[in-house]
Amino acid sequence: MPAWEYLTTPLMIHNTAAILNSWGSDGWELVQVVPGPEGGLVAYLKRPVVKEA
């Protein structure tokens, strides 16, 4: 079974694609986008944990 690490980040409506593309280029996969507690959107992302040899 792979091990995962997780990240949450706010999304600005006018810059959503750039934010997600930036995280994606670092290996993060978008899992879900939900409304934030104070408005706006929050993205949940995951990526496999890289085990050091």
pLDDT digits (tens, 9 = 90+) for 3-16: 999 999 999 888 89
Asked if residue 42 lies in contact with residue 11, where contact means CB atoms within 8 angstroms, the answer is: yes
**Mean pLDDT score, 12-25:** 92
The partner residues of 34 in beta bridges, in order of sequence, read 42
To the question of pTM greater than 0.85 for the whole model, the response is no
The predicted pLDDT at position 47 comes to: 97
